[in-house]
């Protein structure tokens, strides 16, 4: 089966939740605030690769079959820099160059070229350890590149990075290692974003089989990621109940690994809220179609002269319409019965999964609103902790630098992938609330006493995020909206503290 990036055109790349790539690239610039570390994201590489050398398969030595790096077809082009990578056409070379090859071109040349004769056993052992170390480093580079490209909405460019990650992982850890699950998940998500459901299902099956073989070694974080991708697959297939069950397992394993209020767990809440709202829209559409069909059946049963007119008529009188027949009320199957039939799309998910013991919520849209509010709360707390660390970071005197250890700042800096994910999530929630307010007339207010106002919380989170990624104009705009929202909302110590921290940063 060819990989998912074998098509040439990129016009079919659609993702309703992706964000503008140009906006992300222009916003993630270097910033220097007080003594904080500089936030330097890795920009997307050049779109134009170096000129390739023409390559003829008939000139290969016997028993040598060189394949394309992307689609495994016979190769006709060779990378002119490393001379160990081959492609079938220029389009696949461009995809690979933008995806990962620009970053690892020189390293591939070192790894794939044959080594000379090494007479000493000690030298051979050191050489193998060096290769092992390079392969482990390449696993981290390719995995991070694939995840970043997915967040940027570039699934076709993420495929080469995932394929390289799969090759390096199998070479470094073996074919029965749990480390192979992550590249399979990246390939599956790329297939889902490219609307290739069958390929995504195949990759997820391989990831699930690998996890089953190494279930005693599989950490909770990888289990969580697998169930999240399974939830995305079921959502794409329209099996919302199975998607909710998979996302519930995702949240469970993520809570075991990181905690229920961690930003890694917030992704599960976000996807579950999206599924609840889609299920709510599907139920409304189902009811509307049912009503329209009943009205159409009623109109078809009415004969000429039986439809109501403007004149007052009495049944049985001359030149008047006869008594209308009694309407036969058909028993409609419930929604649960329709999904449980053999021809239903969700039938297989009900066969392989036990039914949930919890009752289904009546107002699914309200559940989605609450889950989105929880996601905003988690990200707002995380961003507020980073802002607070930059405000309260102590300055070490010059004479004491050698005596005092440097403060640990690994957890106090906004990672590049976290910044892209936070912008995507918070922007999507803002658009969702705008749609709900205009279309459904919903007002987002605090439903529990002492809980921060959701509108002010979202404005504060967006302001903090834009300030951290050096988008000061947008940060000030959301700050003004937050001041107005906090003034209208009930008094909250959390909102006032975060607002005061932002005020200090702007000053």
Q: What are the strands, taking DSSP E only, across 249-306?
A: none
Quote the pLDDT of residue 13. Answer: 37
pTM for this model (two decimals): 0.75
Report whether pLDDT(345) > 70: no
* Domain presence at residue 433: yes
What single-letter DSSP state applies at residue 412? G
In a domain, 424, yes or no: yes
For residues 26 and 413, give the distance between their C-alpha atoms in angstroms, rounded to a whole number: 20
Domain annotation covers residue 136 = no
* 295 part of a folded domain: no
Q: Do the domain assignments include residue 54?
A: yes
CB 17 within 8 A of CB 428: yes
Q: Out of 69, 86, 113, pick the residue that ends a domain.
A: 113
Handedness of CA 228, 233, 234, 238 (dihedral sign): positive
Write the pLDDT tens digit of every residue in 207-219.
Answer: 999 998 887 889 9
Q: Which of 113, 130, 151 is the C-terminal boundary of a domain?
A: 113
pLDDT tens digits along 275-289: 999 999 998 888 888
**Pick from 113, 140, 168: which residue ends a domain?**
113
Domain that holds residue 499: 370-394+406-506
Sign of the Cα torsion 429, 434, 439, 443 reads positive
- Quick one: what percent of the chain has pLDDT higher than 70? 72
Angle at 109 between CA 92 and CA 143, to 5 degrees: 60
Residue 312 included in any domain: no
Contact 378, 265 (CB under 8 A): yes
Give the model's pLDDT for residue 254. Answer: 96
Determine, yes or no, domain membership for 446: yes
Interval 433-460: pLDDT, tens: 998 888 877 776 655 445 677 888 999 9
pLDDT tens-digit profile of 192-236? 999 999 999 999 999 999 998 887 889 999 999 999 999 999 999
Number of domains the chain is built from = 2
Comparing 21-35, 47-61, 135-149, 395-409, which segment has the lowest mean pLDDT?
21-35
DSSP state of 305: T
In a domain, residue 458? The reply is yes
């Amino acid at each position: 089966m060819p990989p998912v990036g074998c098509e040439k055109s990129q016009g079919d790349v659609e993702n309703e939740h992706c964000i503008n790539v140009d906006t992300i690239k222009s916003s993630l610039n270097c910033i220097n605030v007080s003594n904080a570390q500089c936030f330097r994201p890795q920009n997307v590489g050049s779109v134009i690769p170096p000129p390739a050398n023409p390559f003829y398969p008939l000139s290969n030595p016997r028993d040598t079959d060189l394949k394309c790096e992307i689609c495994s077809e016979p190769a006709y082009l060779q990378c002119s820099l490393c001379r160990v990578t081959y492609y079938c056409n220029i389009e696949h070379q461009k995809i690979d160059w933008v995806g990962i090859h620009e970053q690892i071109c020189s390293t591939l040349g070192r790894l794939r070229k044959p080594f000379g004769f090494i007479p000493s056993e000690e030298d051979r052992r050191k050489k193998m350890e060096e290769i092992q170390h390079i392969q482990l480093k390449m696993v981290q580079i390719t995995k991070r590149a694939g995840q970043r490209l997915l967040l940027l909405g570039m699934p076709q460019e993420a495929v080469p990075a995932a394929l390289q990650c799969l090759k390096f992982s199998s070479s470094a850890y073996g074919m029965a290692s749990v480390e192979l699950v992550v590249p399979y998940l990246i390939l599956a998500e790329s297939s889902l974003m490219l609307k290739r459901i069958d390929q995504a299902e195949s990759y997820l099956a391989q990831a699930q089989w690998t996890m089953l073989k190494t279930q005693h070694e599989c950490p909770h974080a990888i289990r969580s990621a697998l169930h999240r991708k399974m939830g995305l697959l079921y959502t794409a297939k329209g099996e919302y109940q199975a998607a909710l069950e998979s996302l519930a397992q995702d949240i469970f394993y993520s809570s075991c690994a990181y905690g229920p209020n961690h930003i890694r767990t917030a992704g599960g809440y976000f996807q579950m809220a999206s599924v609840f709202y889609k299920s709510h829209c599907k139920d409304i559409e189902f009811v509307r179609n049912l009503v329209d069909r009943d009205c159409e059946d009623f109109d078809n049963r009415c004969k000429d002269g039986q439809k109501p007119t403007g004149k007052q008529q009495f049944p049985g009188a001359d030149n008047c319409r006869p008594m209308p027949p009694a309407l036969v009320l058909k028993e409609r199957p419930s929604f649960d019965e329709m999904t449980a039939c053999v021809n239903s799309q969700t039938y297989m998910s009900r066969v392989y999964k036990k039914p949930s013991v919890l009752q289904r919520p009546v107002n699914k849209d309200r559940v989605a609103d609450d889950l989105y509010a929880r996601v905003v709360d988690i990200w707002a707390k995380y961003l507020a902790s980073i802002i607070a660390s930059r405000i309260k970071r102590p300055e070490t005197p010059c004479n004491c630098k050698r005596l005092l250890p440097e403060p640990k700042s690994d957890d106090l800096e906004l990672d590049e992938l976290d910044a892209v994910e936070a912008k995507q999530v918070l922007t999507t929630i803002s658009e969702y609330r705008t749609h709900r307010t205009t279309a459904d007339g919903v007002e987002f207010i605090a439903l529990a006493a002492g809980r921060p106002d959701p509108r002010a919380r979202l404005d504060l989170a967006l302001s903090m995020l834009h300030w951290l990624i050096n988008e000061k104009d947008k940060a000030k705009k959301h700050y003004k909206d937050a001041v107005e929202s906090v003034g209208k909302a009930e008094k909250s110590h959390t909102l006032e503290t975060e607002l005061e921290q932002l005020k200090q940063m702007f000053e």
